[in-house]
Structure formats: structure tokens, C-alpha cells
Structure 1
Amino acid sequence: MKKNKLLTVMLIILAALLLLGVIFYVLLTKLNNEPEEKEASIEEIVLASVDIPEITTNLKDGHYARMQLKIQTDSEDAAGELTQRIFQVNNIVIQELSEMTEEDLQGKQGKVLFEKAIKAQVNELMQAGEVQKVYMTSFIIQ
């Protein structure tokens, strides 16, 4: 009788430990699998983007730059706000370019730094969303 009782208690303890282990494993895997952000489709990106008309302005060193930009926002509402703020974006771009030389804009790194500067300054203006990326769609220095 003692042997049966001891075996039953051991099986109950073993089953309880096994159940706790399974619960612990499930909880860990669920908590570690954070939901991945859904990658936006190209249609969504286009709807949340704004074309900035061609801008021509003098650079600090006497050369001039001509460029067009496309600015991607995080939502259609933000794109609507940005459309209304195009004059402010133009002003930011002109001011930024007026402090740069032809050499500052040479190569990939110079263009990336310029895009980051524009993004940061435009984001300071935005109220309905934020800028995610600034693209140069046309660029000439003379």
C-alpha cells in the first residue's frame, strides 16, 4: 500500500512539473515573439509621400544646385499636412543648401547627410505624423 501511495505521489509531482515546464515554455516563446511591424506596400508608400517641386538655389561656394525631392511620411494624414507645408520645406532646403559647398554634396555620404538634415528639420514642423525618409529624385550641381 505504501508503495502504491508513493508511486501515485511521484507521478502527480512529475505531471505537475511537466505541466509547469510546458506552460513556462509557451509563455517564453509568446513573449519573445514580438509582433513584427508590417512592411508597407509600395502603394501605401506612394500615398504617404509628397513630391517637392524642383528647387534651384546658390550654394555657399558660388555654384548652384538644382534638385527635386520626394518625402515619405508615416501616413496619408501626414502627407496631407506636408503638402500644405511645401513652402516651409522649400525654405528649409534653400537654407540648408546655402550653408553647403559643392564638395559637401559630393558622393553618397554628402547626399545622405543632407537628406538626414532635411528629415530632422521637417520633422520638427510636423504635427500629424513624421517624415520617414527623404529621397533625392533629381540632383545637379553647376
Structure 2
Amino acid sequence: MTIMMISLVTITLVGVIALVVLLKFSGDEEAKGPSIEEVIENSVDIPEMTTNLMSNDFIRISFKIQTDSKKAKKELAKRDFQVNNIIIEELSELKAEELQGKKGKELVETKVKDKVNSLMQEGAVERVYITSMMIQ
């Protein structure tokens, strides 16, 4: 009787451990985020534009803006003139020195994302990518 109880507890314990391990590994796959196909499918390209900086330099820059859904992508495509306005306004407040390095690019990406998100009604911008940039 004692051996049977020990065997039963051992089998139950192994089953519980296997279940916990299985749930933990399946949860990690969901947390990885969208696939590259989903990112491209929900992204809008902002063509290259040229504008003045506060320091009287010029910048040529283009973006890819990733949204969280197809509805958000459609809305963002319709709001392209507003997005262009936001980009021009934000860049006109920056100097060429502020845009140097990784922190400068992250600053622009964050400002554009926050301002565009304040316009969006059908979804949200998840990430803004600078696809090309040249300061003259």
C-alpha cells in the first residue's frame, strides 16, 4: 500500500511538472511579437522629405511607421498629410547636433510616434523606423 501511494504521488508530481514546463514554453512563443510579415503588412512608408532644421541645416529623411492593425494602417495612410506636418514641425525644432548618434534618432522616432498616436482613432502606432536620413 505504501509503495502504491509513493508511485501515485510521483506520477502526479511528474505530470504537474510536465504541464508547467509545457505552458511556460508555449507562453514564450506568444510573447515574441509579430512576425516580419505582420510588421510589413501593418506598416506605412513615409516617402523621403526635405526640410529645414532649427540650426539652418537641411535634413532629408524617410520613415516606415508600424501600426498595430490593418485598420490603423488604413487610417494612417489617409492621415499622411498630417503625419508629414508632424514630422516637419518636430524636425524644425531640432538642431543638427541633436540628431547626431543613436539618441538623436531615437528622439525623432519617439516624438513622431507620440504625436501620431495622439491623432489615431482606429489603432495605434507601435514603432517608427527611420529608413534613411541625411543632414546637409
Shared fold, TM over 0.5: yes
Q: Number of residue pairs matched? A: 133
Shift in Å, 1:35: 4.6
Shift in Å, 1:39: 4.3
Shift in Å, 1:13: 1.4
The counterpart of 2:54, out of the listed 52, 60, 64, is 60
Question: What's the C-alpha RMSD, in Å, of the aligned pairs?
Answer: 2.0
Structure 2's unaligned 5+ residue stretches are none
Moved over 3 A (4+): none
The counterpart of 2:36, out of the listed 41, 56, 66, is 41
Return the letter of the residue paired with 2:36: S
Aligned to 1:13: 5
The counterpart of 2:16, out of the listed 8, 13, 24, is 24
| Secondary structure, counterpart of 1:70 in structure 2 | strand
- Residues 9-57 of structure 1: CA deviation (Å, up to 9, x unaligned): 2122112211321232123213322151364134x33321112133322
Aligned to 1:99: 93
TM-score, normalization: structure 1? 0.79
| Secondary structure, counterpart of 1:92 in structure 2 | helix
Aligned to 2:117: 123
Structure 1's unaligned 5+ residue stretches are 1-8
Shift in Å, 1:74: 2.5
Fraction of identical pairs, as percent: 46
Larger Rg belongs to: 1
Using the alignment, how far apart are the partners of 1:108 and 1:18 within structure 2?
55
Shift in Å, 1:114: 1.0
Return the letter of the residue paired with 1:26: A
Return the letter of the residue paired with 2:51: T
TM-score, normalization: structure 2? 0.82
Moved more, 22-31 or 73-82: 22-31
Aligned to 1:3: none
- Residues 97-132 of structure 1: CA deviation (Å, up to 9, x unaligned): 111001011123211221122122222222322223
